[in-house]
Amino acid sequence: MVSYWNSYLFIFLFLVLGLLLPIGALMVLGPLLRPKNPTPEKLTTYESGIEPFGEAHVRYNVRYYLFALMFVAFDVEIMFLYPWAVTFDSLGLFGLVEMLIFLGLLVLGLVYAWKKKVLEWK
Amino acid sequence: MNGINGVTQLAFSDVWRVMAPEILLVLGGFLILVLDLFMNKESSRRLSPQLGILFLIAAFVMTIRNFGLVSDQTAGGTGELLNLSNMLYVLDDFGNVFKLLFTAGTALVLLMSIDFFKQNPEVKVAEYTYLMLFATTGAMVMASSLDLITLFVGLELLSISSYVLVAMRRNHAKSAEGGMKYLVIGSIASAMALYGMSFLYGVTGQTNLAYGAQTVIQMWLQFKPLLTLAFLLMLIGFGVKVSLVPFHQWSPDTYEGAPNPVTAFLAVVSKAAGFALILRTFLWGFSGVFGDVYIYLVILAALTMVVGNVAALSQKNIKRLLAYSSVAQAGYLLLPLAVLGKGKSIDNIWLALGQTSFYLVAYLFMTMGAFAVLTVVTRQAGNETLEAFRGLWKRAPFLAVSMAVFVLSMAGMPLTAGFIGKFYIFLGTINTEMYWLGGLLFATSAIAFYYYFGVLKAMFLKDSAVQSHDKIQVPVSLTVTIAIGLIGTLALGIFPDLLMKFLNGLHWFGQ
Amino acid sequence: MVQNAWLIPLFPLVAYLLLFVLGRRAQEGIVTAISVLAALAGFIVSLLILSDVHANGASAPYVFHWLTVGQNTLSMGFEVTPLNAMMLTVVTFISTLVLLFSKGYLHGDARYSVFYQYLNLFIFSMLGLVISPNLLQVYIFWELVGLCSFLLVGFWYFKPEAAAAAKKAFIVTRIGDVGLFIGIVLIYVATGTFEYSGVFEAFEAKKFAIDWITPDHFITLVAILMFIGAMGKSAQFPLHTWLPDAMEGPTPVSALIHAATMVAAGVYLVARAFPIFEASPDALTVIGIIGGITAIFAALIGLTQNDIKRVVAYSTVSQLGYMVMALGVSAYAASTFHLMTHAFFKALLFLAAGSVIHAIHHNQDIRFMGGLWKKLPLTGWTFLIGALALSGIPPFAGFWSKDEILLGALKSGNTTLFVLGLIAAFCTAFYIFRVFFMTFTGEFRGEKEVYEHAHESGSVMTIPLVLLSIMAIVAGLLNSPLTDHAFEHFIFGGGEEIGKVYDTEWWLAGLATVVALAGIGLSYLMYKSKSINPEALANGPLRPFYQLSLNKFYVDELYHVAIVKPVVWIGHILNFIDKWVVDGIVHLFGEGTYIGSLGLKYSQNGQVQTYGLVTLIGALLLIGAAMYAVGGVK
């Protein structure tokens, strides 16, 4: 029972740390350490000089989502590739062929998107 | 087979032995996809369903081969299933039976689709076909995996393909509506199921059902509420897929909006896949504690039988009627599993699987046939109400008689497959002494008789509302579908032992 | 020969399939020829089997393995016993004649071929029911005959009464079927078999695989449940209401299904499964009482009905009551004997009535008939024979069988049943001769023109009448002292007696004859010589009784008030709840979501949220209940 909960203790610790660090840094330590000297320029959204316009809630073109989807697919692919590369030696020929099939299917997805003109911005 | 560091070494021959039907379907799907991509825009793709059917037949044959592999393996006596990656993916007769169902069902659906494409030129034929093949692959994964993650991937592969298929007629408002509703409710379902799986993982520390089952038994007393919650969430998630009451509300709208072949696909293949998943998950993961959780299945089965049949009473639209009837059938199909909690002997498990499978096969034949007839009749009449069937006996006796057989089979008339299926399930409830459930099955079937009767009455006792006395033209593909449905329904109704013997002799879980 | 008994139902099935293939436009002659030949072939085979059984007695059932359920195997097949050999012969004989008769009666009907298809399907199902060796098969065919009856009663579906009658017949008999079904299932649960032989053994040994009830109570329960099924099919009080309404079907259908065969199926079932009933004296008492009530009840209603077919229909109900009563007092032989003779003379009466109806352009009201003897002499003679047989006048068939039933009732000590039977016999004689006198004697009271054109139908209609008349005269002799009760010896198959058998009491036979003659006499005085004015009686002191009988004791109305109305009201209430309460709750939640989620304000599709909501509510209820149950939530 105890050992069972122990495995979750780490998660809990990470959670606490994850919450404490930003709170501690931004809300506790920050105000204590930094000089407080607000000027109108400093209070603008972007200090680079560009004035914000319009509302924050705008509609994005649906194509962004398509790009995002494509990105996610290939991003996740890397996650698969990494452990595969680490254990490559022990996986042997089969591992190589399997990964090639996997990549082939993904490439097919890319080709599909290409042919369906997802990659063109118009 | 185990390699170093927990990495499992696979061999090509193993993969081919275990996954041949799936591989064939994926290959077929991608072949059609590639052809579609690189073919001229103008050139016709109308042969893709035929190509798809070819691959399905190949997968069907491979599945039949797999029965032999399973019995060789069990004869070998190692007691171990043919499996990949430490029971991640297994080959057993349970999966094989369902794969036969899926491939046969999808093949019939594609056969019906040939006519659907002719009527709806705007639908993308190739896209439709490979989505069907991928969906079927997903269904197969659901029937053969023992790992929650892989099961979930299979479920999503099937579901997402289905969402698109429902909305395939882009210019058709109801089609889009149906697809949208299915997507929203389906996503809720997936989320719930996943949430439930996460609890199961949380308690057992693994995603594999074969190994997790032991832990479930050990942890049961300590984590009863948590495990029950996991069970229920999964049940609800899967329940949406097979449309158990009260998670059924999407189905009438979706069934109505979807093209007829896709509706048939949802009603038969998708539902069968859902049941494969339910049986797989609960009979493996929760078999040790089934006596404590079966009551929820009983409740849902009872509710489903009652509500499905009662709601069907007032339907005027034939597709909605069939949708509610398919809801009701889900209730019947859940019964064999539900009553297992009471009768704990292992023999009952094989009997329950036999009952479910038999009913699914019967259901496949009658539903496919009914939808094929429906397609012809509603098109000629121009509407989908019961009125379209009026006087069908005079206009097209063959269609009328076929429909009568299918409808009577759904109602459970003797000499049809549906009767034997129901009767078999009924005996199951009696064997486990759940008399009231058997009574409920009988009573709700009596209600069902009433609304199926409406269809019969319209066909045989009423004069046609359609004035034209043109002969109804039945396309060849639909004639074949109807004939297969008819032969199957009657053959299983009169000689049920044809299938029953086969089912009785199976090594369901490789026992 | 017995091993070929499966051929008998096969003939009509083949005929059915042939007609089906030929389609609805097939020529009437061909349709009739196929059907009649098939039925005739069945009749010949039945006769051969009958003689075989007579010589060699019953044989073991012929079965094949049908399907396996767990450890139990179910089989299908057929069997031949003296009882069902008799039934086969009667059914095929009457079928042949009715099929022939229909050629004249249905001539020119647009759905002539369809009618024959249904009839053949019915004959197949009926024969299948008769030769079934197990209860499961019985149930299957039991439902099939019910379906055919529905189709045939509603054959003239464009008449609203016919459609309503068909529905009523189906629903009322189904109520009985539920009883039968539960009975059969209980038997299966308790004995693990559907086979008659296995079931009987278990009932004799009183060994059942059931522990929630004592064996004796179980036997009574099962017997009553099965009898409920028989009540539905054989139109026993209070499930009798469908049979008179079923007269909306074509007359040949009434003759075949609702007189001779299907309605006798209930009696047949009780007789075939008699060992089950015999094991429970309580069940037998119930059966006897129900039979007696039905006999007298229907006879009283028959007194005042004006539709020629309805009178005959009520007489059928009444006679079925006799048979059931006979079974109730264990007069097995008498009951089955009456089943046989009744089949002949009742089919005769129906066909003769059909002939009358056909001759005067489908008018069925006897108040508008009269004087038809001159126009339809043959029909008149045959109807007279049928009426005499029904009344129980010696030496006609009904006399011998009815006498034995009364004898059985008296000897069993149930004096009340005996008296009821005697009164019913008086009423029967009275009303059937009322019909006879009003139809065939006096002046014609309908349109003159119709009378002028009335004439005897062709030979296809008269030959069956004549043949049935002969049977109505001689069939009774089979079980008379004159032939040394040949029928009894046959039906017991040379083995030991089933039920009880008594020697003929000649004084009783005399009394029954006198009672019947009195009925006929009264009828003569009222409707022939007009010495007693029936109108005055009906409107005078007997008015309440007259109204009661005329309105069939208000049973239909009672059902309407007691069952139909409440059900409709419950429906209304449920509908109300559904509309206001359930929808209200859903709306409440819906509104909540609606207000809470302003972002979805302009969402076009409000429904899918509801679906999601219902799904969630269902999920929460289920989970909540489960958590409560397992104690996760305190």
DSSP conformational letter for B9: P
Show residues of chain C in contact with B226, CB under 8 Å: 632
Task: Measure B204 CA to nearest chain C CA, in Å.
Answer: 18
Establish if B153 belongs to a structural domain.
Answer: no
Establish if B79 belongs to a structural domain.
Answer: no
Nearest by CB to residue B12, choosing from A1, A91, A94, is A94
Quick one: which H or E segment has residue B83?
strand B82-84
CA distances from B407 to B260, B369, B418 (A): 17, 10, 9
Establish if B433 belongs to a structural domain.
Answer: yes
Residue B159, amino acid: S
Residue to test with chain B: of C21, C67, C156, most B Cβ within 10 A: C67
* Residues C356, C436 contacting (CB under 8 angstroms): no
DSSP conformational letter for C195: B
* Residues C326, C353 contacting (CB under 8 angstroms): no
* CB neighbourhood size of C449 (10 A): 9
Residue to test with chain B: of A91, A96, A100, most B Cβ within 10 A: A91
B23 band by pLDDT with thresholds 50, 70 and 90: very high
Sequence ranges of the domains in chain A: 2-43, 63-115
Can you give the pLDDT at residue C545? 67
Structure tokens at B444: 């709700």
Residue of A nearest to B38 (CA): A115
- Residue C386, CB-side half-sphere exposure with 13 Å CA sphere: 32
pLDDT in tens, B385-416: 888 888 888 788 889 999 999 999 998 887 88
Can you give the pLDDT at residue B9? 65
Quote the ipTM score. 0.85
* Nearest residue to B247 via CA among C613, A47, A120: C613
Burial of C535 (0-12, 13-18, 19+ CB in 10 A): exposed
% of chain B beyond a pLDDT of 90 = 47
Q: B4 pLDDT exceeds 50?
A: no
Can you give the pLDDT at residue B97? 95
- Asked if A108 lies within 8 A of B9 by C-beta distance, the reply is no
Nearest by CB to residue C630, choosing from B180, B228, B438, is B228
* Residues C84, C131 contacting (CB under 8 angstroms): yes
Establish if B504 belongs to a structural domain.
Answer: yes
Q: Which residues are paired to C365 by β-bridges?
A: C307
* Nearest residue to C387 via CA among C352, C421, C356: C352
Can you give the pLDDT at residue C313? 87
Can you give the pLDDT at residue B267? 94
Establish if B220 belongs to a structural domain.
Answer: no
Q: Is the pTM of this model over 0.90?
A: no
Can you give the pLDDT at residue B478? 92
Task: Measure C327 CA to nearest chain B CA, in Å.
Answer: 30
CA angle C100/C40/C491 to nearest 5° reads 115
Residues of chain C with pLDDT under 50: 589-590, 592-594, 596-606, 634
Sequence ranges of the domains in chain C: 1-133, 177-532, 551-603, 607-633
Task: Measure B224 CA to nearest chain C CA, in Å.
Answer: 7
Structure tokens at C122: 């019915």
Greatest distance between any 2 Cα atoms in chain B: 76
Nearest by CB to residue A87, choosing from B7, B37, B222, is B7
* CB neighbourhood size of C452 (10 A): 10
CA distances from C60 to C53, C195, C270, C487, C491 (A): 12, 12, 20, 21, 16
Q: Helices B397-411 and B435-456 sit at what angle, rounded to 10 degrees?
A: 160
Show residues of chain B in contact with C614, CB under 8 Å: 246, 249
Structure tokens at C127: 């024969």
Instruction: For chain B, list residues whose CB is within 8 angstroms of any CB belonging to chain A.
Output: 3-5, 7, 9-12, 30, 33-34, 37-38, 205, 222
Structure tokens at B448: 């069902």
* Nearest residue to B17 via CA among B96, B120, B79, B77: B96
Residue of C nearest to B232 (CA): C623
CA distances from B144 to B90, B418, C341 (A): 6, 27, 65
Mean pLDDT of chain B: 88
Residue listed under structure tokens 């046939």: B369
Show residues of chain B in contact with C630, CB under 8 Å: 224-225, 228, 292
Question: Helices in C306-376 by DSSP H: which ranges?
Answer: 308-328, 332-359
pLDDT in tens, C445-476: 777 777 777 777 777 788 888 888 888 888 88
DSSP conformational letter for C531: -
Q: B367 pLDDT exceeds 90?
A: yes
* Residues C85, C46 contacting (CB under 8 angstroms): yes
Establish if B313 belongs to a structural domain.
Answer: yes
Residue of C nearest to B499 (CA): C67
Distance in angstroms (rounded) separating the CA atoms of residues B24 and B63: 11
Establish if B395 belongs to a structural domain.
Answer: yes
Q: Which tops the pLDDT comparison, B363 or C340?
A: B363
Can you give the pLDDT at residue B186? 94
Mean pLDDT, rounded, for B163-183: 90
Nearest by CB to residue C68, choosing from B233, B430, B500, is B500
Show residues of chain A in contact with B34, CB under 8 Å: 108
- Asked if C70 lies within 8 A of B347 by C-beta distance, the reply is yes
- Asked if C615 lies within 8 A of B299 by C-beta distance, the reply is no
Residue A19, C-beta contacts closer than 8 angstroms, at least 6 positions apart: none
Can you give the pLDDT at residue C71? 67
Show residues of chain A in contact with B4, CB under 8 Å: 90
Establish if B377 belongs to a structural domain.
Answer: yes
CA distances from C450 to B292, C368, C379 (A): 78, 11, 17
DSSP string, B286-326: SGGGHHHHHHHHHHHHHHHHHHHHHHHHT--BHHHHHHHHH
Instruction: Encode burial over C121-138: b for 16+ CB neighbours within 10 A, e otherwise.
Output: bbbbbbbbbbbbbbbbbb
Task: Measure A108 CA to nearest chain B CA, in Å.
Answer: 8
Distance in angstroms (rounded) separating the CA atoms of residues B358 and B424: 8
Show residues of chain B in contact with C69, CB under 8 Å: 351, 424, 427
* Residues C476, C395 contacting (CB under 8 angstroms): yes
- Residue B27, CB-side half-sphere exposure with 13 Å CA sphere: 12
Q: Is C111 on the interface with B (CB under 8 A)?
A: no
Backbone angles phi and psi of A36, in degrees to 5: -110, 105
Residue A50, C-beta contacts closer than 8 angstroms, at least 6 positions apart: none
Q: Are strands B82-84 and B89-91 parallel, antiparallel or unpaired?
A: antiparallel
Can you give the pLDDT at residue A120? 81
Task: Compute the CA torsion angle C18, C19, C20, C22 (nearest 10 deg).
Answer: 90
Distance in angstroms (rounded) separating the CA atoms of residues A68 and C482: 103
Show residues of chain A in contact with B40, CB under 8 Å: none
Q: Which tops the pLDDT comparison, B8 or B408?
A: B408
Quick one: which H or E segment has residue C170?
helix C160-191
Task: Measure B118 CA to nearest chain C CA, in Å.
Answer: 31
Q: Is the peptide bond before C395 cis (omega within 30 degrees of 0)?
A: yes
Show residues of chain A in contact with B218, CB under 8 Å: none
Q: B149 pLDDT exceeds 90?
A: yes
Which structural domain range is residue B362 located in?
Answer: 288-511
pLDDT in tens, B242-267: 999 888 888 888 998 899 999 999 99
Show residues of chain C in contact with B249, CB under 8 Å: 610-611, 614-615
Task: Compute the CA torsion angle A61, A65, A67, A69 (nearest 10 deg).
Answer: -170
Q: A80 pLDDT exceeds 60?
A: yes
Can you give the pLDDT at residue C586? 54
Burial of C209 (0-12, 13-18, 19+ CB in 10 A): exposed
Residue B187, C-beta contacts closer than 8 angstroms, at least 6 positions apart: none
Of B50-64, B89-103, B119-133, C247-261, minimum mean pLDDT range:
C247-261
Q: Give the number of domains in chain B.
A: 1
Backbone angles phi and psi of B468, in degrees to 5: -65, 140
